[in-house]
Amino acid sequence: MDSYRWIEDGPAGQQKIWRDGLAELLDAVSAADGVPALSEGFVRALEEGTGHRHLLAFDGTGGTERPIGVLAVDVPDVSDAGGTAEIAVHPDFRRRGTAAGLLREAGRGLDPEAQFSIWAHGNLDAARGLAAGRGARTVRELLKMTVYCGPDDPARASLVEGAAAAPTIVSDAGLELLDYPAACEEFGADLVDAEWLRVNNEAFAWHPEQGGWDIDRLRRARETDWFDPHGVLMLWSRDDNQGPQCAGVHWTKFPAGDTHGEVYVICLADAVRGRGLGGPFTLAGIGYLIDAGAQAVDLYVEGDNTPAVATYRRLGFEIVHRDVVYRGMV
């Protein structure tokens, strides 16, 4: 019979042992499934020890040193209906009720109306079966789209051409295209960061992970080994009365040693939406990634954002992966 422990409720020394075991578990899950066991935000929270809680499952015959499953929730109180959880089970211990046990244990005493949502990365067969068996419903779908842009790929020429034209289109719209260091030199880092946050929070006011950021959250997000300040492109306007204002942010990601770059975050200020800038601004970042050596570019988009999906398809992107959020699992 499996046993369960919340990492954050254990003694400090034991927490370290459990976290090390959890890291091994996540590696095994990723290797078996071909998709990350937990999303980037959940992994960062595990490393930083802030805000999230982690329920571990242990095999009844194997002691409590190495977990066989985890349920991670992104709120300090699991009764918070605004919380989102992710589950991972070691490939050697699947189809024996471990995921159901984690859900049952985490849901003890919860109001049925105060259930957190569950991410299913890749929406694999096991996740779909678990959801169907518990009567859960899909409330969100996140699509991963990819375009291949190596020297021999057919989309490369049009992407490079579009990226080359982007600065002129931006200029014709009365805006400037600057990377983050150039913007900081021109306007000062404090103003640039404040404007970055303003545009981000305007664009993602509805978004459970990307919205509502403050300066500390932005700084933590930039504290990664892959962060490239020159890979953050920004649209700027100058106004004699209001001063410089950011009109858009395109944050690219290209980890060392990887062949895939990413449109990590892209957003436009409310004031410039509907002016045909989304496509050129996307292409500007893709051009930067191609110049840096990316052989493919990935992005993530909400499944119900039909206009954005259509725009990305026109640029050559295709859907390669689906993540789903279920409600009603607990």
User: Where residue 212 sits, what CATH number does that domain have?
Assistant: 3.40.630.30
| Residue 87 annotated in ligand binding | yes
293 lies in the same domain as 168: yes
Q: SS3 helix, strand, coil % of the chain, rounded to 5?
A: 40, 25, 35
Residue 131 belongs to a domain: yes
| Residue 209 annotated in ligand binding | yes
| Residue 268 annotated in ligand binding | yes
| Residue 17 annotated in ligand binding | no
Residue 327 belongs to a domain: no
Residue 234 belongs to a domain: yes
Overall residue count recorded for the chain in this entry: 330
Which of 94, 93, 92, 104 lies closest to 55, judged by CA? 104
The kind and range of the H/E element at 326 are: strand 318-327
Residue 160 belongs to a domain: yes
| Residue 40 annotated in ligand binding | yes
Which of 292, 311, 289, 279 lies closest to 166, judged by CA? 279
108 lies in the same domain as 60: yes
200 lies in the same domain as 309: yes
41 lies in the same domain as 18: yes
149 lies in the same domain as 259: yes
Domain count, the chain: 2
| Nearby residues of 153 by Cβ (< 8 Å), 6 or more positions away | 295
> What is the C-alpha to C-alpha distance for residues 126 and 158, in angstroms, rounded to an integer?
40
Q: Is 290 helix (H, G, I), strand (E, B) or coil?
A: helix
What angle, 0 to 180 degrees and rounded to 10, lies between the N-to-C axes of helices 189-203 and 215-222? 100
178 lies in the same domain as 300: yes
Residue 78 belongs to a domain: yes
110 lies in the same domain as 157: no
Residue 330 belongs to a domain: no
Residue 197 belongs to a domain: yes
217 lies in the same domain as 237: yes
What is the residue whose two structure tokens read 């049952």? 104
Choosing from 135, 159, 178, the residue where a domain stops is 135
| Residue 78 annotated in ligand binding | no
Query: Quick one: tokens of 171?
Result: 């200029």
| Residue 89 annotated in ligand binding | yes
305 lies in the same domain as 162: yes
> What is the C-alpha to C-alpha distance for residues 86 and 69, in angstroms, rounded to an integer?
11
Residue 252 belongs to a domain: yes
| Residue 88 annotated in ligand binding | yes
| Residue 184 annotated in ligand binding | no
119 lies in the same domain as 162: no
Per-residue pLDDT of the chain (330 residues; tens, 9 = 90+): 689 999 989 898 898 899 899 999 999 999 998 888 888 888 887 777 677 889 999 987 655 678 999 999 887 777 666 778 899 999 999 988 999 899 888 887 666 666 778 888 888 788 888 888 888 889 999 999 999 999 999 999 999 999 999 999 999 999 999 999 999 999 999 999 999 999 999 999 888 778 899 999 999 999 999 999 999 999 999 988 888 999 999 999 999 999 999 999 999 999 999 999 999 999 999 999 999 999 999 999 999 999 899 989 999 999 999 999 998 776
Task: Provide the residue range defining the domain that includes 59.
Answer: 3-135
* Helical residues (DSSP H) of the chain, grouped into ranges: 12-33, 40-48, 98-106, 125-133, 156-172, 180-187, 189-203, 215-222, 278-291, 306-314
pTM: 0.85
Choosing from 135, 170, 189, the residue where a domain stops is 135
104 lies in the same domain as 78: yes
61 lies in the same domain as 188: no
Choosing from 80, 107, 135, the residue where a domain stops is 135
